[in-house]
Structure 1
Amino acid sequence: MIIFILAVFTVALGSYWSGMEDYGSESSSPSDSRPQVHEGNKTNDSGKILTPVTVVIFVIICSVMIVLLYFFYKWLVYLVISIFALAAAVSLFNCLAALVKRIPHWKYKFTFHRRSFEVRLLILAVFCITMSIIWVVFRNDDRWVWILHDCLGVAFCLNFMKTLKMPHFKSCVILLVLLLIYDVFFVFITPFMTKNHESIMVEVAAGSGSTGEKNTGNYLMGLAVEPVAHNEKLPVVIRVPRLVTSVATICRMPFSLLGFGDIIVPGLLVAYCRRFDLQTNTSNIYFISCTLAYAGGMLLTFIALILSTMAQPALLYLVPCTLITCSVIAWRRKEMKMFWAGNGYEVLDGSNEPLTQDDESSWNNERGDG
């Protein structure tokens, strides 16, 4: 239940934040069904848009990285820990700074080398760096550090979803389908290729790689098994201890794990739905429906884990649930062409000119209002 709440909360909040970053609080009357071009709210993160080409490159990098981790885990794990510690501090600062800047008080500033610094943001930066350092020092203390780790992990996922943008549904489909294939391959197919007949995904998640360090118990991808040994573990997961004795006995593991990718990847689609709702004034129907679909996919993952008691790639359930839900809604609303091409977002990236009369006629014809 804790994993479920954390995952759904992170996806919903990260997607909502992504939309607000692009469009602010501006919105037109709900009765106006035409796509709206918000001049002056054009995203400043246009260089961080995931195009189909960058999506393919990203998946290739993920595949190469997991193979390298499998063969060189003992060395690369420290590189991943270092990168996460830095990224977690930055992400936590960005998340908390968005809240701090809304406070109308304590805006004291000082100048240093002709640059102005806000005192409260400097204090916040010190706090975030301290939290990251504490995690690095106590990262293997399973009694309490999982709470700090999960807070940093949620902040990392939120910042990732806010920073990266999917320009259209086409890119979302390519990303989710390729990573679904990636997930299934490294969980179900690789056992036929490894000497110990364990999947590469499970071995890397367990912290053993190809070193031959075996740990007893089941490995539940999405709710993966935490190894008993105190070897270094990859920090790219949400960790929650099993609080129910019967569940811990069945799974023979003290912790449940949910990979960051199982939050971020579907979350990028939910974030696109949120921005599409804002640009077309559709009363958040895509955003709410896709969020509920993600929650449903998580429940299916839990059911599959309980019934099979074996490793399950969470994206196998999350991807169909979210993609099919969005597609059905777009088709029923006769908006599939625009939803697929991301027409409104391309206008934001291309120019600030309002829609022409021909554009309005085309839009109305697509909705059947012309």
Structure 2
Amino acid sequence: MSHGGAGGGLGAQTVGAGQLGGGAAAAGGGEYRELHWTVSSVMDSSRVSTCLISMLLIVYGSFRSLNIEQEAREREQKKRNESMTNLLTGEPVEKEPTDKFATLDTMHALCLPLGASISLLIMFFFFDSMQLLFAVCTAIIATVALAFLLLPMCQYIIRPCTDGKRFSFGFCGRFTAAELFSFTLSVSIVCIWVLTGHWLLMDAMGMGLCVAFIAFVRLPSLKVSTLLLTGLLIYDVFWVFLSSYIFSTNVMVKVATRPADNPVGIVARKLHLGGIVRDTPKLNLPGKLVFPSLHNTGHFSMLGLGDVVMPGLLLCFVLRYDAYKKAQGVTSDPTLSPPRGVGSRLTYFHCSLLGYFLGLLTATVSSEVFKAAQPALLYLVPFTLLPLLLMAYLKGDLRRMWSEPFIAQQPSKQLEV
């Protein structure tokens, strides 16, 4: 899938910290009681779960991406050593692709909000006629993403039983036993989701999508990150706040909460299998994370995958830069010793992750205060991007991070007389 298609698909489902289902009614009587109700609503189990899971997905996806990059470098070094040996012995050199990442450039960052808007309008106007296609494509993509999410667990389980040997499946490629096991588990989960429509399985598929996109999609610089997040902020605000004035309904919420007919039910209806049609539930597509409240029956908190993935790409970028800077020993001035203190120990990743938490908390409070769905990126983008820009400026890394953060800079050589 292309970069724009992936981002557009996620962005089309993006909703702020809104709600799916009925919420609890506020008890009247006094500002204190209303404030107490607001605080208790913010601290509801569904809200807390949404916040914790989204942050864990970003952290896990970012470190998974960093680990994949490290493994790729190690394989490249191993191949280089083997190629030197093969050149001496005359054996052929086996080549394999090393770049598994999709890197967004400036054009992608500018076009992605437009592509997301087009995807959103297509789903808004033609959802009924294309819902089977949406459901099938989503299930296929989620199966692959969920297999990627489950792979480390499967590797841990199967490691004592296998030697890491790869099995060939013709043109499909060669896979390890752990990869086959994770794919089998993923297919089973998706099939059970199709048959039951359970929210927990939908969340598992959404988590897989989040981790896969954060791990394999790269932002090359702070410039591209700023363009992308700013464009998506405008996109999010327009479709949540302003779309109702044009389309007489909130397009973002309408698309995100609209259930799709079950593919099994559609096929059974065409085959005139009435019993199966009655038993198949409608499906909420995994474009969002949904968590029920333990205290208020029927109350759900919802966060769009785009509100996890897009800030997650920024945090993955700064984590890679932190690791690169640590490995290269890069400082703003090579003649100066690294600063000491709390500020020096605070990495860009820590700063951005804290900003993401504060932005998500602000979005949650706003949704309770205004009693309406909020464009989460309206809060997440400023809280993550602005502190990062300020911190990079204070540390002297802003110019480097803005354009070419991962290109080693050679110190200027001065002639000594």
Work out which of the residue numbers 95, 102, 107 in structure 1 matches 2:162.
107
Partner residue of 1:274? 319
| Shift of residue 327, structure 1, vs aligned partner | 0.6
| Shift of residue 14, structure 1, vs aligned partner | 1.1
| Shift of residue 241, structure 1, vs aligned partner | 1.4
Work out which of the residue numbers 343, 352, 367 in structure 2 matches 1:290.
352
Structure 2 CA distance for partners of 1:341 and 1:112, relative to 1, 3 Å: closer
* 1:36-115 map, 5 Å: 40=77, 44-45=98-99, 48-101=102-155, 104-108=159-163, 109=165
Tell me how large the CA RMSD over aligned residues is.
3.0
Work out which of the residue numbers 363, 386, 389 in structure 2 matches 1:301.
363
Partner residue of 1:128? 186
| Shift of residue 21, structure 1, vs aligned partner | 2.1
Secondary structure of 1:343's counterpart equals: coil
Partner residue of 1:217? none
Work out which of the residue numbers 187, 190, 199 in structure 1 matches 2:243.
190
Distance in 2, matches of 1:231 and 1:169, equals 41
Work out which of the residue numbers 37, 40, 52 in structure 2 matches 1:5.
52
Distance in 1, matches of 2:175 and 2:106, equals 39
| Shift of residue 135, structure 1, vs aligned partner | 1.1
Which amino acid is the alignment partner of residue 123 of structure 2? L
| Shift of residue 341, structure 1, vs aligned partner | 1.3
Length-normalised TM-score, structure 1 = 0.75
Which digits, 9 at most, give the CA deviation of each residue in 1:146-200, with x for residues without a partner? Answer: 1121122111100110010000011111110000000000011111112xx3221
| Shift of residue 238, structure 1, vs aligned partner | 0.5
Q: Which runs of 5+ in 1 are unaligned?
A: 27-38, 140-144, 210-229, 348-353, 362-370
Distance in 2, matches of 1:119 and 1:342, equals 40
Distance in 2, matches of 1:112 and 1:206, equals 42
Distance in 2, matches of 1:192 and 1:113, equals 54
Work out which of the residue numbers 213, 229, 232 in structure 2 matches 1:160.
213
Q: Does residue 241 of structure 1 match 2:297?
A: no
Distance in 2, matches of 1:305 and 1:293, equals 18
Secondary structure of 1:193's counterpart equals: helix
Length-normalised TM-score, structure 2 = 0.67
| Shift of residue 20, structure 1, vs aligned partner | 2.3
Of 288-297 and 46-55, deviating more is 46-55
Which digits, 9 at most, give the CA deviation of each residue in 1:335-368, with x for residues without a partner? Answer: 1001111331xx3xxxxxx65343x99xxxxxxx
Structure 2 CA distance for partners of 1:112 and 1:19, relative to 1, 3 Å: closer
Distance in 1, matches of 2:205 and 2:305, equals 11
| Shift of residue 289, structure 1, vs aligned partner | 1.1
Distance in 2, matches of 1:189 and 1:130, equals 41
> Which is greater in Rg?
2
Distance in 2, matches of 1:300 and 1:44, equals 41
| Shift of residue 117, structure 1, vs aligned partner | 4.6
Structure 2 CA distance for partners of 1:106 and 1:62, relative to 1, 3 Å: same
Structure 2 CA distance for partners of 1:169 and 1:113, relative to 1, 3 Å: closer
Work out which of the residue numbers 239, 248, 252 in structure 2 matches 1:201.
252
Secondary structure of 1:256's counterpart equals: strand
| Shift of residue 121, structure 1, vs aligned partner | 2.8
Work out which of the residue numbers 379, 400, 416 in structure 2 matches 1:338.
400
Which amino acid is the alignment partner of residue 359 of structure 2? G
Conservation of the 8 A alpha-carbon contact between 1:187 and 1:312: yes
| Shift of residue 24, structure 1, vs aligned partner | 5.1
Conservation of the 8 A alpha-carbon contact between 2:154 and 2:181: no
Secondary structure of 1:72's counterpart equals: helix
Partner residue of 1:254? 299
Distance in 1, matches of 2:352 and 2:77, equals 28
Which amino acid is the alignment partner of residue 286 of structure 1? Y
| Shift of residue 46, structure 1, vs aligned partner | 6.3
Structure 2 CA distance for partners of 1:121 and 1:174, relative to 1, 3 Å: same
Taking only the aligned residue pairs, the percentage that are identical comes to: 26
Which amino acid is the alignment partner of residue 376 of structure 2? A
Distance in 1, matches of 2:386 and 2:107, equals 23
Q: Which runs of 5+ in 2 are unaligned?
A: 1-47, 79-96, 261-280, 327-343
Give the structure, 1 or 2, with the largest relative contact order (CA under 8 Å, sep 6 or more). 2
Partner residue of 1:119? 177
Secondary structure of 1:136's counterpart equals: helix
Conservation of the 8 A alpha-carbon contact between 1:106 and 1:120: no
Q: Does residue 181 of structure 1 match 2:234?
A: yes
Q: How many residues align?
A: 309
* Structure with more of its chain in helix, by fraction: 2
Q: Does residue 310 of structure 1 match 2:368?
A: no
Distance in 2, matches of 1:121 and 1:202, equals 36
Which amino acid is the alignment partner of residue 279 of structure 1? Y
Distance in 2, matches of 1:65 and 1:96, equals 29
Which amino acid is the alignment partner of residue 135 of structure 1? W
Distance in 1, matches of 2:169 and 2:139, equals 29
